[in-house]
Structure 1
Amino acid sequence: MMGDLRVFKSGATRSEDAEEERFDLISPFAMQRIARVYAEGAKTHGSANWERGVPLDATLNHMERHLQMWKAEKKSGKKIGEDDHMAKVAWGAFAIMHYETAGPLDYGTLVPQDKLPSNDAEQENYDPKGILGF
């Protein structure tokens, strides 16, 4: 069943459900900067290397490192390295959102060793989100 329809001046119609995701509101400037990070990664690691899954702790560390460098740049007024640090922070956030939606989301060392499943029965009911409080 179709929802409400949006009617354009031309008489064409479109379902209103397209309003749930407003891609037209995403900054093209920010997207271009993030796209450059993806291009740089593709040159170094291969186009879809990141989609194999990077442990969450490594991704968060990557983001934190670039956030701190971005903050140091703002405080000192001096460029630190050649990286677009904020775009790399955003890349990490995009990667985590991808892993949350499509997998694989590897919690890495964020889950203490004594909380990891030790047998098949424990593995079946294992939920790292509960351990981490997510």
Structure 2
Amino acid sequence: MADKTILIAEDSSVILNLTKKILELQRYKILTAKNGNEVIKQVGNNKIDAILMDLNIPGKDGMQCTREIRANENKEISSIPIIAVTGNANNYTMEDFKDAGINAYLPKPLDFDMLVQTVKQYTAE
């Protein structure tokens, strides 16, 4: 099986590096983005199997990025599974996530078992 590529959108280096290590142990190929513009650029330039989207990234936030990806004319891009990650989910309802096109949601601090399980669920063949 070819390695799956996960884009991690996260502006905290600590969380980014930890998440990256954990997913690399599961044999995922990792791309990273520290702000919304980088997310959109990575999505345009690479084949990505799932996105871990911190909702509080600078520039365009995770919700804006998600909407932009969902609106992409390229089916391959608009259908990438997006897993939202946020420390203040209270700002959002599940409806908000659904409306934006978010597939799943993980609260911070990240439960890494949950993380791996969720990523696997959305990248399964």
TM range (shorter): under 0.3
Instruction: Say which one has the larger Rg.
Output: 1
Which one has the bigger helix percentage?
A: 1
| TM-score (normalizing by structure 1) | 0.25
